Amino acid sequence: MINHAIILAAGRGIRLMPKTTKIPKAMVKVKNQTLILGGIKKIQKYIKNIHITVGYKGSLLAKHVIENNVTSVINTNKKGNAWWIFNFPFNLIDEPVFVLTCDNITNVNFKLIEKDYIKKRKPECFLIPVKPIKKLEGDYIHKKKNLVLKLSRKIKSDIYCSGIQVVNPYRINKSMKKTEDFNKVWKKLILKKKLIVSDILPSKWFTIDNVEQLSSYKKRKY
């Protein structure tokens, strides 16, 4: 059972300027709520413990998420997006953690993902793929069955790696040296033939990384 989730929200959101001049990217409002709050509300229905990474304008974001009953706030200011895997107590317990980035807007089916994660023998890192959308960036996933062979920005496939995943920090710590970069984590796991991709895709997915995407999403029905 997945008892912990983490939302990566330390980014500044330079491409969302001027909206992020005084607030972090995670606090940009989309359809009457902040990006981070949308993620928290969806996860809270299924996962008890929610942890948030903060960086730029961290105290402002920390106050916002604490008011919305998260379990903990992790200061990763000026650290890479995988720093928490090797430096937070997750690495002491052999349990999976659901990972979402604050700019991913999706309707993940947690129950199906959990079943698929168990079916695939609880891998160290379990990518939740999404369907590519024009003008939205992502790494194309190349696979053989469910084993990831390559992640590429240039060579196309029918599924993206958007950063939504289930990881086991304890097992990752056992299998590699510390790094702060998720891309390096994925590459090392690919070499070890341990990076697995799920069969379950969210039926809806969008990401907001710049002003154009924000404007585009506001016109969508979900």
Structure tokens at 45: 């229905």
Task: Report the candidate in 6, 52, 4, 44 with the shortest Cα–Cα distance to residue 27.
Answer: 52
Q: In this structure, are residues 80 and 179 in contact, taking their beta carbons and an 8 Å threshold?
A: yes
pLDDT of residue 222: 62
Instruction: Look at residue 137 and tell me whether its pLDDT is greater than 90.
Output: no
Express each pLDDT in 173-212 by its tens digit: 999 999 999 999 999 999 999 999 999 999 899 999 999 9
User: Quick check: 151 and 161 in contact, CB under 8 A?
Assistant: yes
Give SS3 for 59. Answer: helix
Residues 118-127 have a mean pLDDT of 98
Report pLDDT digits (tens) over 79-105.
Answer: 999 999 999 999 899 999 999 999 999
Neighbours of 123 (CB within 10 A): 22
> Could you give the C-alpha distances from 120 to 30, 34, 64, 159, 217, in angstroms and in order?
35, 34, 36, 18, 33
Q: Give the domain CATH number at 45.
A: 3.90.550.10
Q: What is the pTM of this model?
A: 0.96
What local confidence, expressed as pLDDT, does residue 168 receive? 98
DSSP-H helix ranges across the chain: 35-44, 58-66, 83-87, 110-119, 169-175, 182-191, 211-218
Nearest Cα residue to 101 out of 18, 161, 189? 161
- pLDDT tier for residue 221 given thresholds of 50, 70 and 90: low
Number of domains in the chain: 1
The reported pLDDT for the residue numbered 144 is 97
Contact present, 38 and 105 (Cβ < 8 Å): yes
Q: What is the pLDDT of residue 14?
A: 92
Q: pLDDT per residue over 22-81, tens digit each?
A: 999 999 999 889 999 999 999 999 999 999 999 999 999 999 999 999 999 999 999 999
Around Cβ 190, how many Cβ atoms within 10 Å?
17
User: Distance between alpha carbon 51 and the CA centroid of its chain, in Å?
Assistant: 12
The boundaries of the domain holding residue 177 are: 4-218
Which of 42-56, 144-158, 206-220 comes out lowest in average pLDDT?
206-220
